[in-house]
Amino acid sequence: MSDLTPTRSPESAMEESRADTDPVASPVVAPLAIDVQEAAVEDSATREVVFDLHDVNVYYGPALAVAGVSLEIYKNHITAMIGPSGCGKSTIVRSLNRMNDSVSGFRLTGQCTYHGNDLYASAVDPVEVRRRIGMVFQRPNPFPKSIYDNIAWAPRILGMKENLDERVEKALRGAAIWDEVKDRLKTTALGLSGGQQQRLCIARSIAIDPDVLLLDEPCSALDPISTAAVEELMQELKRDYTIVIVTHNMQQAARVAERTAFFSLDLSEGRRTGILVEYDETSKLFTRPADKRTEDYVTGRFG
């Protein structure tokens, strides 16, 4: 890019986004971010439901890993799942696109529908499920291929071969990484930084036009600047996609999500079972939680 180009450099865009969402400077409960989200959640009641979970239990072998989860996830919302380690939030999210199928001993009971279709009906092909419900993982996992092929590989196989160059560019632009990689599309993706790799993985997911993006702790391996870039990106992406994000970082949930689900661990009677404690609009969950356990967690008194 020459100095005369009037477009903003990605660095300056990132600086700005960092200024208003600096994760280090934010208090535990970020009131500013919540105010921003408040207007958007008013219409939750009338929104289209994408996922409808009713009394979902997940077993790993004989052990009940997550019990009695019921929640609705709305279209074009960002829905966050928070809670301590081992509380089952990742398990629930990975159940939404059948990624748990390959885990030996995995079993799910209860009702889990996607646009009204039972995700666990016997006729459902998990490959088709994942084609519509993409996933970005905790650790960036680009393929050991070129940047271009990382994006183009899946569309090629899925038969979306027309205008492949355009599709790749659109995906990379959509994931806010185009300017950084446009001159090195043929070089290996493994040479990118962690934050760039994660945005490349997001680009890879949206290149096949999914309906939903599941983000499983997408920022836990990233530094604050990259985290800010990914969070800003999520706000862009929710216009086109429904997003579910698992995060350890409460401020992150407060900053990005319209609705937040708080999971916890039920340790009574020697069990170790994840439960959904509270699910509400993010602003309400963080400022006026209905459950004492939620309040203890979001105010840092957990334990």
Which residues would be at the binding site for another protein (CB under 8 A)? 97, 99, 102, 104, 127-132, 134-137, 139, 141-144, 153-154, 157-158, 188, 190-191, 201, 204-205, 208
Cβ closest to another protein, residue 67 vs residue 215: 215
Cβ closest to another protein, residue 107 vs residue 132: 132
* CB 65, min distance to another protein, A: 19
For residue 34, what is the enclosing H or E element? helix 31-41
Edge-to-edge strands of the sheet including 106-114? 117-118, 106-114, 49-60, 63-74, 273-281, 259-266, 78-82, 242-246, 212-216, 133-136
* CB 140, min distance to another protein, A: 9
Closest CA to 188 of 173, 177, 200, 176: 200
* CB 289, min distance to another protein, A: 33
Cβ closest to another protein, residue 188 vs residue 220: 188
CB 111 within 8 A of CB 49: no
Cβ closest to another protein, residue 216 vs residue 231: 216
Cβ closest to another protein, residue 203 vs residue 250: 203
| C-alpha–C-alpha distance, residues 167 and 227, integer Å | 25
* CB 163, min distance to another protein, A: 19
CB 264 within 8 A of CB 277: yes
* CB 196, min distance to another protein, A: 14
| C-alpha–C-alpha distance, residues 199 and 180, integer Å | 11
